[in-house]
Amino acid sequence: MLVFKFGGASVKDAPGIINLGKVVQKYTGQQLLIVVSAMGKTTNALEKLTNAYVNQADAMHQIYDEIKQYHYNILHELFEPSNPVFDEVANTFVEIDWMIEDEPHDDYDFIYDQIVSIGELVSTRIVTAYLNHIELKSKWLDVRSYIHTDNTYREGIVDWPKTCEHIQQDIPAMLNNSIVVTQGFLGGTSENFTTTLGREGSDYTAAIFAACLNAKSVTTWKDVPGILNADPKHFADTVKFDELSYTEAIEMTYYGAGVIHPKTIKPLQNANIPLLVKPFTDPDALGTVISEIGLQHYEKPVIIVKQEQVLLSVSAKDYTFITEDHLSSVFTLFASKHVKINMMQVSALSFTVCFDYRAERFEKLLESLKQSFNVKYNNDLTIITVRHYKQEDLKALIGDRKVLLEQLSRNTAQMVVR
């Protein structure tokens, strides 16, 4: 039994969906579960729609119309107008219609998940219809009935026992009769509300299904030849890894490597299921294999660049030393606001952290911190993480930029730069 995950870039248009069909045809006769992301940049567009709705902006309906038109254009390229998928997609979009007719809910993260999730629900309707159209018998599955989470919107925490019980109860029989197509990134609460698992969470979805079903492997189909040592958008001389260990992949994703969602690897490692990262434009290419055995020596460093960072320092209002009690209070606030720390450093009088900037969460965090601490911060910064570094690598990467915070360990260097 195999699990495939197709990202947004691989299903961004009609030719992409046709290519998906050709990839799947190569695996005829295998039990196959397919996880699909939203098409192209749909998640970004739905985020814009969410913000427009929350702010009751005049552009809200225009943004929404453009999202719908983008999907209908793809439908018209793939199907005759009489195909039932047109009604299925229209009925899915109705969920947004109902929501934006009402006044915005107080909880931004709740609104976000209910609106942004529609991208995956629509894309999987279209993919399922196309696979059936080319006579690959397929069944659409609503993932929200199988991946169960708590009520932490935008960062849903999976209830693993309940999730595995429901997956193992229903899905093996489905796989005997058809290809199963489901949504990445999404989960459901006990109250039947939609949650999301974090941006780029479709990889994690694939790992959840694979672990619960004891899959032979997971393959994520990407717009890159495999896992590279750096982002080719920022670096010209990248190299591909033919293999990586689970441990190295976990480290890379923890520090922000965007090719795989950070939570993906551990469930696969626990079940000893290999993860293959392959190019969807060349399905016969080897790509990268992540397993228990991986590279032991790295000729080139792994470079991870994260932009839109905040560097924030807190100090006690009475200018006493930073104690364990102070740190406990700070960590509790970060956890309650769902802000993840990328880097931290403690001194006698201050505690400094670096984290991703998210406007709505940052403002709430800042307000809470100021009640007990003096707070200073810089934003619009970049954090550069280098695994398996050499000193000359660091000098070349920093260039003439100012380093605001630096940490070096045996294998990893991190620098916050302006």
Compute the distance between CA of residue 416 and CA of residue 296 in angstroms, rounded to an integer: 28
pLDDT of residue 294: 72
Please write the tens of the pLDDT for every residue from 39-50: 999 999 999 999
Taking only the tens of pLDDT, the chain with its 418 residues reads 999 999 999 999 999 999 999 999 999 999 999 999 999 999 999 999 999 999 999 999 999 999 999 999 999 999 999 999 999 999 999 999 999 999 998 899 999 999 999 999 999 999 999 999 999 999 999 999 999 999 999 999 999 999 999 999 999 999 999 999 999 999 999 999 999 998 878 999 999 999 999 999 999 999 889 999 999 888 988 999 999 999 999 999 889 887 888 899 999 999 999 999 999 999 999 999 999 987 667 888 999 999 999 999 999 998 789 999 999 999 999 999 989 999 999 999 999 999 999 988 999 999 999 999 999 999 999 999 999 999 998 999 999 999 999 999 999 999 999 9
Paired tokens of 89? 């997609």
pLDDT of residue 304: 95
Phi, psi of 251 (to 5 degrees): -60, -45
Q: Are 198 and 263 in contact (CB under 8 A)?
A: yes
Helix 118-133 vs helix 108-116: angle between axes, to the nearest 10 degrees? Answer: 10
Q: Which residues of 371-389 are buried (b: 16+ CB within 10 A; e: fewer)?
A: eebebebeeebbbbbbbbb
Q: Is 234 exposed, middle or buried (0-12, 13-18, 19+ CB in 10 A)?
A: exposed
Please write the tens of the pLDDT for every residue from 201-254: 899 999 999 999 999 999 999 988 999 999 988 898 899 999 999 999 999 988
Paired tokens of 271? 């079940």
Report the SS3 class of residue 113. Answer: helix
pTM of the model: 0.90
Considering only CA atoms, which of 363, 358, 369, 357 is closest in space to residue 331?
Answer: 369
Paired tokens of 402? 């100012």
Residue 277 CB partners (closer than 8 Å, separation 6+): 219, 220, 222, 224, 226, 227, 259, 260, 287, 288, 290
Q: Is 71 exposed, middle or buried (0-12, 13-18, 19+ CB in 10 A)?
A: buried
What residue ranges in 87-154 does DSSP mark as E strands?
A: 138-141
Compute the distance between CA of residue 309 and CA of residue 302 in angstroms, rounded to an integer: 20
pLDDT of residue 193: 97
Domains defined for the chain, CATH in brackets:
2-291 (3.40.1160.10), 302-417 (3.30.2130.10)
